[in-house]
Structure 1
Amino acid sequence: MAHQFKGSGAKAIVILANFCAKLEQIITDTDIETVIVTQLRDLQKPGKRLLLNLGAKYLKKMVPAYNLPASADFNVAIKSPNSYNKDAAYGTADDVALILYTGGTTGTAKGAMLSHNNLIANMMQLRARCLLVIEDRVENIVAPLPLYHSYAFLLHCLVMPYAGNHNILIANPRDLDFLLGLLKKTVVTGFVGIHTLYLALLRHPDIASVDFSKLKFSGVGGMAMTRSVAEEWERVTACEIIEGYGLTECSPVITVNIPGAIKLGTVGPVVPETEIRIVDDEGVDVPKGEKGELWVRGPQVMLGYWQQQQATAATITADGWLKTGDYVQIDEDDYLSIVDRKKDMILVSGFNVFPNEIEGWVSRHPDVLECAVIGVESERTGESVKLFVVSSGGDIAEEELIAHCKKGLAAYKIPREIIFVANLPKSNIGKILRRELREI
């Protein structure tokens, strides 16, 4: 919060009371002047609103005590005759609509300036792909990802409302009992998540009691999806997973698999009106099928990073190509496969090793629930592979995992160190934080 508030120069905030105690700790170090506090049930009828808000605060202890003397109540603010400016100036479609911060999983989060045109273009690009499987005004889409995540924001705040469809917001997707309870009693036609959420649901004992007969859309993005989880989800729900790829800097969608023509292990072809290049470290295009960094150009590419001209110049070329920092491959049908983040590549004896490949193979072991790979310094090979494993419940011997790796990985990709952990560090949306593993 502090980094984004300071960096953006925000003057006002609308905040849920649950988080006001955190705001109190940092507000004096920001430019925030106006604080409007809302509660979970503020849009309910007055009597019900009061009862439920008091219950959340005093019975469920969901609202820590805070002191923000200058704050205003949400319902009071919207009823005030001076609560908005009727003479507000309107700019152009190329003006900044919002500053959306990157996830910061590989470094400090940066504010991507997205224009109205960026967002509208990407909304229509994703909608074109969605219309192949969903209809307007009839869908119930489960929305478990926080709406500050670029993918969730685009889909649930733009694409689905534009289509007149219904989003079912899940405040805490980590509460799997609640989520599965909702799925049992609600007719759901669409579900959107990331790999770790799908995995957690599939491992829950109640998944078999959910009726997925109306489910026709399962979307995934944000991190790599393993083939085994995608196949198991389709077996359990009879609904194939549609994997896509994007970046906050691209509003965010770049590619999406085509419903009915899905290729597992890929993120699909680019969405309409999008150009791509796959280049080597010198910026030269590589032949089709070879690995290289993905560059993107299209109407969804951001204006730049907020107040970071050097970072913008390093990311967007003079002729409009955005360097994604992701290594990819493209096949004969123009479907992209994500190899890994450029920053996460491991150099072993001069060979490029990508964590995603190793993680994908290790996760096939029946006793592995989750895993993650990083590179560590090695006097002999420059870098070596270090593997972190979360067991699915049984005991796994290190020798057993090494033997499993030898069946599907080249010798220089075999982990030289294996650490068994109770869980892996994750971001707020469930992405594994490799940078924190480097501190273990």
Structure 2
Amino acid sequence: MSRNPCADAPPESLFRFVDGMPAAQVALIEDGETLTFGDLAEDSRRVAAALAEAGLKPGDRLGVWLPGRAAWLSVFLACCRLGAVAVAINTRFGPGEVADILARAGCRGLVLEPAEATRLGEAPDRRRLDLGFLLVVGGPMMAPPPEAVAVLDHDALTAAPPAGPVPEAGTPDSPCLIVVTTGTTRRPRLVLHDQGTLLCHARQVATAFGYAAPDTVTLQAADLSGVFGICQALASLAAGRPNVLMGRFEPARAAVLIAARRVTQFNLTDEMLDHLLAEMPDRPAHPWPWLDFVGVSQFDPTLDDLAARAETRGLRVHGLFGMSEVQGLWALQPGELPLDARKQGGGRPVSPHARVRARDVSDGPRGRLLAPNQVGEIELYCPDSLMVGYDGDPEATDAALTEDGWLRSGDLGFLRADGGFVFIARGGDALRLGGFLVQPAEIEGHLLRHPSVAACQVVGVRVARRSTCLAFVLPRNGARVAEDALIAHCRAHLADFKVPVRVIALEAFPTVTSPNGPRVQRNRLRDMAQATVDTGSVPPVDRRAHPR
């Protein structure tokens, strides 16, 4: 592990770091055009000036509902300048989800593409929004703006003459980013980070991943709405190396960009890599010999052979680990490990100050600490990258930390004797859908709002090598359950990857007798769901309680 790249310098604001980079050095490549650090800094100044004129002040929140393009980064850096907070919103979220996030975060404005304005108008909770302005990227709006909302044109702003003085209230301690993560309840949590820890972690990632090598070119495969994508983008900036942007991940286009731009490194999920392998040229066996590092977040156990398949095509796979609370790319498996160990999630932390331990929580959160190779809940000590907290939820923030300041990850894993660790599985019932963690309770809560549904259970299934979900429901008071109507109910307001592939009505859920009363057997529901999609039939439910 290299020395701490943050140790020799005082804390620094993200925007001041970008301003201090060589102005002519290439920072981003998008649609065949290059954007230098000077271009990025100037674009962010112009956007910041317009946002300040629109009333955005230090501490205010700005929703950013954009794909991973250069405009996303210029808006984010503009927020950093002003001391404001960018609220990263997944472009695949439905209008109801977006409205809820904007309202909970108290967003003063929203940045979006023209087509998204139409979708936002479909939000059932639109009346809850108190937006002062919209900043539109990529052309004129396709729908009239909400009443009394000012509309700013991002493209016109960045093409205007150089801006004059811009208020620069941001400091290293200024909160600057909220990311949305799955929680244990129906409502996703809002995770708040500040400028200093984001930059420090970016420098550590750049060092640990070798981004500073003179030939490094990264591909931005992961979306910027989550820490997985944001941390790669910031690490590329910290290293001063070009990052190729593609907006939304498309495997065929990614294959073209890797060849055309001679991409040397990127990070993505196992499902994304599986699709990319299908787009690789058949000949030669190793078509991209300059590509020497592929970081993979592994969540799908059915893709256990993925790393071996990738390496036969010349792609060297490294397992990764990250969380919204401690940032993405928090750990990686070292290159000297054999493939079977190197492909596993986890690794060694990129920060020399970070530590990992495993705890036996079978008898409660204060169980004993475990020796290497014993499976327990992973706890993380991460002073360089830890979140400020869950926005607006100090109780949840306190509950996430141990008395001595370690983060309870909720994940299962074990320590290795060499100081690294292995991630086994996410804790609880979280599903990996569309490359994102989703709590079943979020989808269940939406279905329960339909008048025909009395109870609901959502479980994960595999359909055509894709992770998706299936819902089981109990009718309310003998109501007729129309599957098409319930799927449409979900599609109207949820992200497409959260929409169940089937909604099946049952007379009862399978249960097991426990000391605290009957408990739904989710493992049996998962088996039933997979059989349903594999055969097209619905297995019968034995309504008797089963012993453990």
Confirm or deny a common fold (TM above 0.5).
Answer: yes
Q: Which residue of 2 is the match for residue 275 of structure 1?
A: 355
Q: Which residue of 1 aligns with 2:175?
A: 96
Distance 1:79 1:8 in 2: 30
Q: Which residue of 2 aligns with 1:369?
A: 465
Distance 1:124 1:187 in 2: 23
C-alpha displacement of 1:105 = 9.3
**AA matched with 1:12:** G
How far apart are residue 241 of structure 1 and its match?
0.8
1:296 pairs with 2:408: no
- The alignment status of 1:109 with 2:194, answered yes or no, reads no
Q: Pick from 307, 311, 328: which aligns with 2:392?
A: 307
Structure 1 residue 171 corresponds to structure 2 residue 171? no
Write out per-residue CA displacement over residues 20-43 of structure 1, whole angstroms, 9 at most, x where no aligned residue. 21233445422321211110xxxx
Q: Secondary structure in 2 aligned to 1:293? A: strand
CA contact (8 A) 1:137 1:164 kept: no
* Structure-2 residue corresponding to 1:234: 311
> Shift in Å at residue 187 of structure 1?
1.8
Classify 1:154/1:206 alpha carbon distance in 2 versus 1 (closer, same or farther; 3 Å). Answer: same
Q: Which residue of 2 aligns with 1:31?
A: 130
Tell me the residue number matched to 2:145: 67
Q: What's the counterpart of residue 145 of structure 1?
A: 222
SS of the aligned residue for 1:273 comes to coil
**Structure 1 CA distance for aligned equivalents of residues 156 and 162 of structure 2:** 11
* C-alpha RMSD over aligned residues: 3.5
1:18 to 94, 115, 122: 115
Q: 1:215 aligns with which of 291, 304, 309?
A: 291
Measure, in 1, the Cα distance between the counterparts of 2:262 and 2:160.
Answer: 39
Contact in 2 for aligned 1:16/1:37 (Cα 8 Å) = yes
Q: Following TM superposition, by how much is the alpha carbon of 1:103 offset from its aligned partner in structure 2, in angstroms? A: 4.6
Deviation for aligned residue 1:216: 0.8
1:342 alignment partner AA: G
5+ long unaligned stretches in structure 2: 1-97, 431-460, 473-508, 535-548
SS at match of 2:349: coil
Contact 1:373 1:385 in 2 (8 A): no
Query: Contact 1:101–1:111 (CA<8 Å) still a contact in 2?
Result: yes
- After superposition, the C-alpha distances for 1:122-160 in whole angstroms (9 at most, x for unaligned) are 2133223112xx44443221212211110110111x110
In 2: Cα distance, 1:106 partner to 1:139 partner: 41
Identical positions, percent: 19
SS of 2:428's partner is helix
TM-score with structure 2 setting the length: 0.57
Q: 1:207 to 1:170 in 2, by over 3 A?
A: farther
How many pairs does the alignment contain?
A: 350
2:254–2:276 contact (8 Å) kept in structure 1? no
CA distance in 2, matches of 1:79, 1:143: 25
Task: State whether structure 2 residue 497 is matched by structure 1 residue 421.
Answer: no
Alignment partner, residue 335 of structure 1: 420
For residues 267-310 of structure 1, what are the alpha-carbon distances to aligned partners after superposition, in whole Å with 9 as ceiling and x for unaligned? 21223210222112232212321111111122211121000112
Counterparts of 2:127 and 2:512 in 1: how far apart (Å)? Answer: 48
In structure 1, give the amino acid aligned to 2:206. R
**Do 2:136 and 2:154's aligned partners in 1 also have CA atoms closer than 8 Å?**
yes
Kindly provide the CA deviation profile for residues 214-238 of structure 1, in whole angstroms up to 9, marking residues without a partner as x: 11111122735744101111111x1
Whether the 8 Å CA contact 2:371–2:415 is kept in 1: the answer is no
Counterparts of 1:222 and 1:6 in 2: how far apart (Å)? Answer: 33
> In 1, distance between residues paired with 2:282 and 2:524?
33
SS in 1 for 2:115: helix
- 1:373 and 1:258, CA in 2 relative to 1: closer, same or farther beyond 3 A? farther
Question: 1:222–1:246: 8 Å Cα contact kept in structure 2?
Answer: no
Match of 2:197 among 103, 118, 128: 118
Q: 1:395: which partner in 2?
A: none
**How far apart, CA to CA, are the structure 2 residues paired with 1:34 and 1:371?**
37
DSSP 3-state at the match of 1:419:
helix
CA change 1:148–1:120 in 2 (3 A) is same
Cα distance in 2 for residues equivalent to 1:252 and 1:241: 17
Q: Is the 8 A contact 2:197 2:386 kept in 1?
A: yes
Change (3 A) 1:216 1:66: farther
1:168 and 1:105, CA in 2 relative to 1: closer, same or farther beyond 3 A?
farther
**Distance in 2 separating the partners of 1:139 and 1:305:** 35
Secondary structure (helix, strand or coil) at the match of 1:162 reads helix
Distance of 1:81 and 1:310 partners within structure 2: 47
Partners of 1:112 and 1:302 within 8 A in 2:
yes
Question: Closer, same or farther in 2 for the Cα pair 1:138/1:98, shift >3 Å?
Answer: same
Partners of 1:82 and 1:333 in 2: CA distance: 53
Gaps spanning 5+ residues in structure 1: where? Answer: 40-52, 58-62, 346-361, 389-414, 423-440
What does residue 38 of structure 2 align with?
none
After superposition, give the CA deviation of every residue in 1:68-104 in whole Å (9 maximum; x if it has no partner): 562121244457799887344344x233122222156
1:257 maps to 2:257: no
